[in-house]
Structure 1
Amino acid sequence: MIADHIPEKEKIVMFEFMYAYARLEYCLKLKIKDQTRQTEGKNARADWGKFISDNKKIITYKDIPAGKELFDLKPKKQVFGNAGWVDINDTKNELNNIVTALKAVRNNLFHGGKELEHGFDYSPRNMKLISTSLNVIHQIIKFLKWEEDFLPIH
């Protein structure tokens, strides 16, 4: 298999993160709705922008301490051109910073080349980014009291 080179422990953490991220996006589809952008019969989508605008004054690093930890870890985002990987910018809004960092980790794991300057997808830094991101998701779900919809058991 394509992931045979990744140790089992790291594979489990990666899977847990990707599964939790998918469940969070399911909750966003269910809970965050903008009737002006949702048309009958069109694809449902996780509206991260509306989530941020609806909650940017409510959700802070105090509420999601793993979000501050994740942003301080400075996950990079992949860009075209010679730069390859660049830092994410501080938007001066804590929830936006949390979401930007979380999405960067997800996009790097799912879409990126799976490598950074210090190693491959299961490097200690990448595993710290992934495990911290998983904590962010759980803290968001708990803060918003979305456990019933987040957990796949009803």
Structure 2
Amino acid sequence: MHELSVSDELRRIAFEFFYRFSRLEFALKENGYVRRGHRNIAEVNWWDFSLKFSAQYSPTDSAIHLLKASPKRQIISPDDRLEWEELTFPLESTSLWKMICLLKAVRNNLFHGGKHAPAGWLEPERTHELLVVCISVIVELADLAGIQADFDGRY
């Protein structure tokens, strides 16, 4: 997607998505869902978050929509080309773990992915749709974890 073809509305919703996603990661780390990454970098411990709340999590319409929209992830093919593949989940994956993986895939695709190729995101309507549903799911996850104050920046 070329910068000049991105509408003001799509820019707004992309910013909203990045803002909400980063607030969720911040709030999760502030509330103990943090792990030591490479070189002691603080990273969100999505796995622990998933383990704690999977039994309580019930997919909403937004979550079901995101699952059906099936965002892809960029991979390196055996012949070293960038390609897209469907996200697949082990049978034991919980609904919450799937949502986390899908949210991270959308974030990675928007931030890093190649939207210029025919198999990429040349569809601004789809991008907008994915971002709107992702924002709803992000807010739902903050509510699920009871971290709304940190998520909203209310201190």
- What TM-score, normalized to structure 1? 0.82
**What letter is aligned with 2:49?**
F
* 4+ residue runs over 3 A deviation: 2-5, 115-122
Which one has a larger percent helix, Structure 1 or Structure 2? 2
Q: CA RMSD in A?
A: 2.5
Determine the C-alpha separation between the residues in 2 that align with 1:13 and 1:20.
Answer: 10
Separation in 1, partners of 2:6, 2:42: 33
- Whether the aligned pair in 2 keeps the contact of 1:75 and 1:87 (CA below 8 Å) is yes
- Matched residue, 1:86: 85
User: Which residue type is aligned with residue 83 of structure 2?
Assistant: G
Worse-superposed segment, 73-82 or 88-97 = 88-97
Per-residue CA deviations over 1:27-59 (Å, capped at 9, x if unaligned) read 12112346xx549x9322111121112222221
Q: Which sections of structure 1, spanning at least 5 residues, go unmatched? A: none
Work out the CA distance in 2 between the residues paired with 1:7 and 1:38: 39
Task: State the partner residue of 1:123.
Answer: 124
SS in structure 1 at match of 2:56: coil
Relative contact order, higher structure (CA 8 A, sep 6+): 2
Report deviation, 1:112: 0.7
Overall identity of the aligned pairs, in %: 26
Are residues 33 and 144 of structure 1, via their aligned partners in 2, closer, same or farther at CA, if it must alter by over 3 Å? closer
Contact residue 66 and residue 139 of structure 1 kept, 8 A? no
Secondary structure at the residue paired with 1:57?
coil
TM-score, normalising length from structure 2? 0.82
